Amino acid sequence: MDHAELARMLHVEDDVRAELNRCARRGLAPLEVPAPMRLSTWMEQHFYLSEESSYEKGAWTFYPFQVAIADCIGHDGIEAVTWRKSARTGYTKIFLGAVCYMAEHKRRNQVVYQPTDEDRDDFTTTELEPALRDIKAMRRVFPKVNRKSKDNTMKKKRFIGCLLHLRGGKAAKNYRRITVDTVYYDEADGFDTDIEKEGSPFKLGDKRIEGATFPKSVAGSTPKLKGFSLIESREAEADERMRYFIRCPHCAEEHTLEWGGKGAAHGMKWRDNDPSTAAHLCLHCGALITQAEYLANWQGRWKSDTGLWIDETDPTTLKFRTPDGQEVPPPRHIAFFTWTAYSPQAAWTSIVGDFLAAARKAKQGDDSDLKTFINTTRGETYEVELERTDATALEKRAETEGNYKLRVVPRGGVVLTAGVDVQGDRWEVVIWAWGRGEEAWVVDDMVIHGNPADEREWDEKLLPYLESPVKHACGIPMKIKATAIDTGGHYTHQAYNFVRSHARNNFFAVKGDSIDGKPVKGKSSLQDVNVRGKIVPRGVRLWHVGTDTAKDLLHGRFKVQKPGPGYVHLSKELSADFFRQITAESRVPVRTHSGERYRWVKPNGVRNEKLDCTVYAIFAAHAMDLHRYTDRMWQRLEVSFEGDLFDTAEGEAPAELQARPAHQPADAPPPPPTLLGGRITLSGMRRAGERRG
């Protein structure tokens, strides 16, 4: 073997050895344990502002107030971070940086929830994908950045060693079958407060991190309406609520930046409606601080309402200290608040100018700009006069005259319908009686405790109640003629099977639909039913209920002041909780994919099962076409309760109205009222005719 051939063989061996080493390093990369690094340090080293989503592309630089927020998001000892914020405070970039940091540095499985699927797509295309393309560090864990595959889609990004899910937050199904370490909620106030009646987005999403070694829940949002703000409610639940304190350049005392306003003793001030005079009044010395003075010495510290403060001097980790300087463990849940005045991107003169313009517009009756200013500049919730029914006034209207007791159908009521709301440990049922012109009476409000997950308990506990006759004031026992049972939340298939198994009872499987203009009785579709592990194809008909339409109808009828058509009768025996729940919701503007729309929404932490049951009972009445009945049709029904027309056996209820079978098309004409179940005598018919004559 000559020297040239030997050299050639050795060179080949070196290439093979080098390639083997590269493959080994690449294969062992998921097992690599990186040195500890704060999120702020990682972002300063790696994060890049992409041209698609930034005014200027290039490296990222933190403002002083942003550092601790980022490092709390990256801190393994903190389980939950909440950030109530205004615009221009850097939330989106820090949130995006955290997603990349958790994937590249900590190899954690994550899920990002956006309010809607459209928001998810927009975030993926304008924020996430440009970041994955431009941040060089991400190429180590995401080599498929420019390739379409099943591991690189709008809904999923598979990195080396971990996975990122991207979901819209409208559908309850998007919160299932995911197991992750970190969950993010972007623009949390854009989510529904109750996701398809299964709970708040935070409750559903945080289930995805149960069992994680280092669970992390991060939520940030610009707040919206007072009492309906998810981010404000979550902030209130935090162990520590932090504000950023700066030092006054005149007296060196600490204070926060506040909006203040014209009549406040501390905060933003200006003279003669001139925005150019805007300055910040110090709480301690009364000196005015210009924005230039603030920016020249804006290094401050985060302190909570309990005095706890964050020490950022250690380059490897944050430390939390008491007012006397003692180090303590980090809080489990920490909340931050920032507003636009802290950011150098917004001039204080512009902030005051925007407010003055919005205030002038509000005086002319248009408060839209003022609402936007309070939400997006001040980072606070906006309080408006809401359209709702007052519970106290409604309770005062409850009737004491006559013999109006619960579980007795008052005179005038000739048809019974019921609505059933299924909860985790019970069934809530409200029975309504209907009379001429859809005059309505609450007949019963019942809570049946049990386990709806067990199909046997539906038959053992719920069914006997729904089948039990209710005594009419004239002495005739009546049965519920139609019952609507909610299937949109808990135990859907158990509800489906119950309805399927008892079709003769006129049970309707229903699901709410809050889209504008939907009829109370909407479209229906056949659904598969899972019966003890066996699928019954097209086993039950599911009806969609126009919930907002029904609530509009009920809200309007609460305004009817005199008994008669459309009047709602309420018994004094109803509990105060019934009145609170049936008036729980307010009609408020909410964000939808087609713009701002008005929806009936319940405040956070408020129960509304009685309202839901009533909506379903209204659906059941519409399913029987009561809203189409003429006076003559109502009169024929009323005859059966005049006392001597029927010779009715004990316990046998006259079937005062035949409900349309569930299979009958929605657009079929209403059936004529039929009087069945009793024996009608000729002499009785004549006497009834003579009385009417």
CA separation for the pair 600, 587 (Å, rounded): 4
CA separation for the pair 547, 628 (Å, rounded): 19
Tell me how far apart the 2 most distant CA atoms of the chain are, in Å.
131
Instruction: Pick the closest to residue 448 from 405, 485, 492 (CA basis).
Output: 485
CA separation for the pair 243, 688 (Å, rounded): 77
Helix, strand or coil, per DSSP, at residue 497? helix
| Side-chain half-sphere CA neighbours of 83 within 13 A | 30
Q: Are 220 and 185 in contact (CB under 8 A)?
A: yes
CA separation for the pair 625, 459 (Å, rounded): 28
| Side-chain half-sphere CA neighbours of 584 within 13 A | 21
CA separation for the pair 488, 323 (Å, rounded): 50
CA separation for the pair 354, 373 (Å, rounded): 7
CA end-to-end distance (rounded Å), the chain = 129
β-bridge mates for residue 592, sequence order: 595
B/e letters for 590-617, b = 16+ CB within 10 Å, e = fewer, are bbbeeeeeebbbbbbeeebbbbbbbbbb
- The residue behind tokens 């007072």 is 226
Please tell me which residue in 104, 127, 129, 187 is annotated as part of the active site.
Answer: 187
CA separation for the pair 80, 77 (Å, rounded): 9
Q: Are 370 and 359 in contact (CB under 8 A)?
A: yes
Q: Are 190 and 168 in contact (CB under 8 A)?
A: no
Token output for 119: 């928001």
Token output for 470: 């209710």
Residue type for position 295: L
- Give 105's contacts (C-beta < 8 A, 6+ positions apart): 34, 37, 42
- E strand or H helix at 304, and its extent? strand 301-304
Q: Are 569 and 399 in contact (CB under 8 A)?
A: yes
385 is catalytic: no
Compute CA distances 194 → 137, 582, 610, whole Å.
39, 17, 16
CA separation for the pair 232, 221 (Å, rounded): 9
Q: What sign has the CA pseudo-torsion 569, 572, 573, 578?
A: positive
**Counting beta carbons within 10 angstroms of the beta carbon of residue 458, is it exposed (0 to 12), middle (13 to 18) or buried (19 or more)?**
buried
**Counting beta carbons within 10 angstroms of the beta carbon of residue 537, is it exposed (0 to 12), middle (13 to 18) or buried (19 or more)?**
exposed
- Give 393's contacts (C-beta < 8 A, 6+ positions apart): none
Compute CA distances 417 → 398, 440, 479, whole Å.
21, 10, 9
Residue type for position 426: R
CA separation for the pair 370, 199 (Å, rounded): 32
Residue type for position 149: S
CA separation for the pair 637, 654 (Å, rounded): 10
How many whole angstroms from its chain centre is CA 296? 42
Residue type for position 648: T
**Residues tagged active-site:** 187
